[in-house]
């Protein structure tokens, strides 16, 4: 009897906990909507009662709601759901536009403030250790409501093509295209356009950091996964965009009510965008946030676009060990549309120029990106073993899909199963692997075409010595050989009328980590005293690209170099090199009356330390998918009077980058400096990176990573210096004419140095032995564009008293970072 009671109890418990409750309300008044039809994966689950509620059992991917007089809406399946429907009457819409308040509810803002204040403590990373797994499914497809319409349309369209196409009048190529078009149309009715599954394991330790193991993944249409896309992130360990303090002026927040979920009280806050204008087909609210009343942790957030079917993202968290772990996340994002002609192309009578041009009718079907993620198997604490966290942050364990069944939390439907069969064959036919490889290479500053990568940094440059420089750089990639990669580049300056070139080869010693021997030969020019950019990221180099725009003090270097680069750990990279160069000034210069040309033999050691950046190894090499701060770059070069070298010197330089975020705003800092010992030409010293031209009408320039907007280019040189770049983002965010949030940064730049023997260098320059300072204000996302506009003024010792000379306007690309 005891066992019978236990069996009944378990059955009842399973029945009870498998039930879900949905509440359907009016968006304007909050009144319940009765007799609303609730669909679970397009199957009717029931209709709401007079209180607007429906309790139903079962599990579904998506829940949609329909009611007479209201726009249809949907939500992500959960144990407790709430949907607010907007009335379809235009008069009601116009009334709502007047009634709706344009100010946030102070109670809602106070709750959100507590969410931000407690976010770090509520985050799983405040635990000593944890582990969990995930299963994610990403697809590219039509909307569910569109599939039936599309299938019907394609059936009619295929019949039309067969009936109207006269095969005898077509060439062999035209026949082939027609048959392929029909096959592609049919295929898209039976399968998704793209499907990607991945299973992951997340480990975290305060002592060892984070480790992500891709247990298995497979992409339909590709033989080789796009490894860089494995780093796509969600709200897993970051605060949702709609809740962040810097975005408060982008939304209006309203505390509507409280609700009990799994025995815990939750506040319900609804939000909408500030540029909201009610109109038929648009939502009154963009979404809602459920906030746990006890811990102020986020239980659930749903964010929608203004227009229905434009996109949405829903994240659901669960409490575990007193923290809030992400449990489920669904995303739907509109990604263009696919258009089909409703009639075949007619032959044009080219002899009749007066014949009216007619446009063919086209039918469009919306395309969407869907991402469904489930996180499970949460554990804390875990046994912390150093070997489990060794190597790079992200490691791909398997990529053939053979283990996915073990981790699937959601079985594949028929269309998804067909995707692997049908789209894979299309992927081979149309070489989708080759085309998507272009995206992977672009993230590293390269364009990929088959076995060749083209260097984007070599395409175009401008400086005062070469003028416009065009060029090309190419490198044979891992498709040519897994371990050996030759490369070459060439460039031509239209002002100095000289070709520059170089070639080399990389030899990898391991496919598991970064370990590369390199040999190279070069004949090129660069600006004298330029700061080292060894191991800088692509974005950092682009950001510093304008450093030479107004500088004409260049020197040529011709020779060869041998180097070896390796990662000692996920955080530490070391590179050692030896080079033999023939160096010559390209400006009027004489060093110690010894001339302007010297032989230099030197060795260089470079160290990069980035303890919180996250890396992964791919067939293309190491990839930093998350650049976190602080970062330290250190270089030491030693010149020898041996092996033909004429110079005996040592040169140190260091760059420290850090970023700190507090309630007062985000503070970013760059500290850099250098020291030269021994006698060496000016190009082995340090220029102070002025960006300004000589006596400009308007001092307008592009920002650079280490440059000064108001300083004259090529004017100051030191053998020792220290510099600082400091910016602070004011925590006030606003909108202008677009959708991007604008803000202001207060910027300070300063540098000071000295030179021991300036008389050794016979050319026109000054040492900078006083503190050079400039202050500025930078408008981020100027007029909602992707550009920042900065205004800078020179202050302190070097202030000239002439506003025109002391003032500068600077343009910066926002995406390049601070």
> For residue 200, what are the CA distances in angstroms to 129, 299, 486, 595?
17, 23, 35, 62
pLDDT along the chain (818 residues), means of 10: 38 49 79 88 86 84 83 77 71 39 84 93 95 90 64 65 54 57 66 85 93 89 63 76 81 86 89 63 73 94 75 90 93 70 52 55 69 93 92 86 88 82 62 58 76 89 93 93 96 96 96 94 96 92 88 95 95 96 95 94 97 88 88 97 94 96 88 96 94 79 90 94 95 77 92 94 93 96 89 95 91 82
Q: Which of 581, 530, 587, 585 is CA-nearest to residue 558?
A: 581
| pLDDT value of residue 653 | 97
Phi, psi of 106 (to 5 degrees): -55, -30
Which of 506, 488, 526, 626 minimizes the C-alpha distance to 210?
626
**DSSP per-residue string spanning 661-721:** EETTEEEEEEEEEEEEEEE--GGGSEE--EEE-SS-SS-EEE--TT-EEEEETT-BEESEE
The tokens describing 186, both together, are 């049919």
* Structural domains for the chain: 1-99 (2.60.40.1120), 509-816 (2.40.160)
Q: What per-residue confidence (pLDDT) applies to 396?
A: 85
pLDDT tens for each residue of 371-391:
889 999 999 999 999 999 988
Q: How far apart are CA 583 and CA 595, in angstroms?
A: 11
**Max intra-chain CA distance, the chain:** 108
Mapped onto helix, strand or coil, the DSSP state of residue 128 is coil
Spatial separation of the C-alpha atoms in residues 461 and 456, rounded to whole Å: 11
Indicate the helix (H) or strand (E) that contains 438.
helix 432-442
Beta-carbon contacts of 20 under 8 Å, excluding residues fewer than 6 positions away, are 55, 56, 57, 58, 77, 78, 79, 80, 81
pLDDT of residue 401: 85
The whole-number pLDDT of residue 354 equals: 57
As a whole number of angstroms, the distance between CA 767 and CA 686 comes to 10
Length in residues, the chain: 818
pLDDT confidence of residue 1: 40
Torsion angles phi and psi, residue 406, rounded to 5: -65, -30
Is residue 723 packed enough to be buried (19+ CB in 10 Å), middle (13-18) or exposed (0-12)?
buried
pLDDT at 319: 95
Q: Tokens for 347?
A: 């032959």
Quote the radius of gyration of the chain (alpha carbons, Å): 32
Reference 333, options 306, 310, 316; nearest CA is 310
- Say which DSSP state 127 is in: S
Residue 521 contacts residue 490 (beta carbons within 8 Å)? no
| pLDDT the model gives residue 661 | 84
**CA distance linking residue 285 with residue 268, whole number of Å:** 13
Residue with tokens 């032959």: 347
Between CA 514 and CA 508 the distance in angstroms is 8
Q: What are phi and psi of 36, to 5 degrees?
A: -80, 135
The pLDDT, as a whole number, for residue 365 is: 63
SS3 451: coil
- Confidence at residue 91, expressed as pLDDT on a 0 to 100 scale: 37
Cα 19 from chain centroid (whole Å): 39
Decide: pTM greater than 0.85: no
């Amino acid at each position: 009897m005891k066992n019978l009671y236990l069996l009944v109890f378990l059955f009842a418990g399973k029945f009870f906990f498998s039930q879900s409750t949905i509440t359907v309300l009016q968006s304007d008044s909050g009144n319940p909507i009765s007799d609303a039809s609730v669909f679970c994966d397009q199957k009717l689950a029931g209709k709401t009662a007079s209180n607007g509620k429906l309790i139903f059992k079962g599990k579904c991917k998506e829940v949609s709601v329909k009611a007479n007089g209201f726009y249809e809406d949907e939500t992500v399946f959960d144990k407790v759901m709430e949907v607010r429907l907007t009335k379809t009457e235009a008069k009601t819409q116009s009334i709502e536009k007047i009634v709706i308040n344009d100010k946030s509810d102070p109670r809602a803002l106070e709750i959100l403030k507590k969410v931000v204040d407690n976010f770090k403590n509520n985050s799983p990373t405040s635990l000593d250790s944890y582990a969990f797994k995930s299963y994610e499914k990403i697809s590219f497809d039509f909307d569910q409501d569109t599939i039936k319409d599309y299938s019907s349309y394609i059936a009619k369209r295929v019949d039309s093509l067969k009936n109207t196409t006269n095969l005898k009048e077509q060439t062999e190529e035209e026949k082939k295209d027609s048959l392929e078009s029909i096959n592609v149309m049919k295929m898209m009715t039976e399968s998704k356009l793209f499907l990607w599954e991945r299973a992951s394991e997340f480990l975290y330790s305060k002592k060892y950091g984070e480790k992500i193991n891709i247990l298995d993944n497979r992409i339909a249409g590709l033989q080789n996964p796009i490894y860089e896309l494995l780093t796509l992130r969600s709200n897993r360990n970051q605060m949702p965009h709609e809740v962040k303090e810097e975005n408060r002026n982008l939304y209006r927040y309203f505390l509507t009510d409280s609700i009990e979920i799994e025995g815990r009280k939750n506040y319900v806050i609804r939000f909408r965008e500030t540029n909201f204008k009610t109109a038929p087909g648009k939502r009154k609210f963009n979404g809602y946030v459920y906030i746990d009343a006890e811990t102020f942790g986020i239980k659930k957030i749903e964010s929608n676009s203004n227009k229905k079917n434009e996109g949405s993202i829903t994240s659901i968290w669960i409490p575990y060990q007193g923290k809030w772990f992400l449990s489920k996340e669904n995303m739907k994002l509109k990604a263009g549309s696919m258009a089909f002609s409703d009639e075949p192309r007619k032959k044009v009578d080219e002899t009749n120029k007066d014949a009216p041009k007619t446009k063919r009718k086209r039918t469009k079907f919306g395309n969407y990106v869907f991402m469904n993620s489930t996180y499970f198997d949460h554990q804390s604490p875990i046994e912390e073993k150093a070997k489990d966290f060794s190597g790079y942050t992200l490691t791909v364990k398997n990529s053939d899909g053979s283990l996915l069944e073990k981790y699937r939390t959601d079985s594949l439907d028929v269309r998804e199963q067909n995707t692997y069969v049908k789209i894979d064959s299309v992927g081979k036919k149309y070489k989708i692997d080759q085309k998507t490889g272009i995206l992977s290479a672009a993230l590293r500053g390269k364009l990929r075409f088959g076995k060749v990568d083209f260097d984007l940094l070599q395409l175009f440059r401008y400086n005062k010595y070469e003028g416009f420089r065009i060029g090309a750089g190419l490198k044979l990639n891992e498709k040519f050989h897994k371990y050996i990669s030759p490369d070459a580049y060439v460039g031509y300056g239209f002002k100095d009328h000289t070709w520059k070139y170089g070639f080399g080869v990389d030899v990898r010693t391991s496919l598991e980590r970064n370990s590369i021997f390199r040999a190279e030969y070069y004949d090129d020019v660069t600006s004298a005293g330029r700061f080292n950019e060894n191991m800088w990221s692509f974005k950092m180099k682009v950001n510093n690209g304008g450093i030479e725009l107004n500088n004409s003090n260049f020197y040529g270097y011709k020779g060869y170099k041998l180097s070896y680069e390796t990662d000692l750990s996920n955080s530490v990279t070391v590179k050692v090199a030896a080079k033999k160069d023939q160096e010559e000034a390209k400006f009027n210069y004489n060093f110690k009356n010894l001339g302007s040309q010297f032989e230099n033999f030197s060795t260089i050691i470079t160290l990069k330390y980035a303890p919180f950046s996250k890396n992964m190894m791919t067939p293309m090499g190491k990839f930093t998918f998350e650049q976190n701060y602080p970062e330290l770059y250190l270089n030491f070069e030693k010149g020898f009077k041996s092996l033909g070298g004429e110079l005996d010197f040592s040169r140190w330089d260091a760059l420290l980058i850090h970023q700190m975020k507090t309630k007062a705003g985000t503070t970013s800092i760059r500290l850099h400096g250098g020291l030269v010992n021994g006698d060496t030409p000016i190009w082995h010293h340090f220029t102070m990176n002025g960006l300004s031209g000589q006596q400009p009408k308007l001092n307008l320039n592009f920002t650079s990573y280490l440059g000064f907007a108001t300083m004259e280019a090529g004017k100051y040189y030191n053998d020792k210096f220290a510099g600082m770049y400091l910016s602070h983002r004011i925590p006030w965010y606003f909108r202008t004419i677009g959708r991007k949030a604008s803000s202001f940064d207060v910027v300070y730049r300063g540098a000071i140095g000295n030179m021991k023997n300036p008389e050794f260098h016979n050319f026109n320059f000054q040492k900078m032995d006083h503190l050079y300072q400039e202050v500025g204000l930078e408008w981020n996302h100027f007029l909602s564009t992707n550009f920042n506009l900065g205004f800078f003024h020179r202050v302190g010792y070097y202030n000239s008293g002439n506003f025109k000379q002391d003032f500068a306007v600077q343009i910066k690309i926002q995406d390049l970072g601070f």
